Amino acid sequence: MSMEKRELTCIRCPMGCQITVTLEDGQVKDITGNTCPRGAEYAANEVTHPVRTVTSTAKVIGGELAVVPVKTKTDVPKEMMMEVMKAIAGIEAKAPVKIGDVLLEDAAGTGAAIVAARDVAAVQ
């Protein structure tokens, strides 16, 4: 039986709780230091299967701006972030682009859609 403790700073809210997670044989046994349930959920996920929201920019064709900020609609596994970035690099959105438009349905096989994070009008 192997015991391990991991120290984390929670990022779910501005409080930034210092959380300690105790693992036994790779399983979460105890979580301390969180002041809300979101902190416990974050810590458990972070030590067993970390995920992230990916943000970047994508090329816009015929727009008032050359690029549009984009993000994953849902979190993706941390280990897939670079593959998601490569998928975003291949996007060429045609203006006009509206905030929330899905520019890529499934980034790198993660199931996460890539969505526009602002409007970009077409060049008149």
pTM of the model: 0.82
User: How many angstroms separate the CA atoms of 54 and 86, rounded?
Assistant: 11
pLDDT in tens, 14-42: 999 999 999 998 899 999 999 999 999 99
Could you tell me the pLDDT band of residue 89, with boundaries at 50, 70 and 90? Answer: very high
pLDDT per residue over 93-104, tens digit each?
999 999 999 999
pLDDT 10s digits, 101-120: 999 999 999 999 999 999 99
Q: Does residue 86 surpass a pLDDT of 90?
A: yes
Within 13 Å of residue 34, how many CA atoms lie on the same side as its CB? 19
Residue among 25, 15, 20, 12 nearest 75 (CA) = 12
Hey, what domains does the chain have and what are their CATH numbers? 3-49 (no CATH), 55-116 (3.10.530.10)
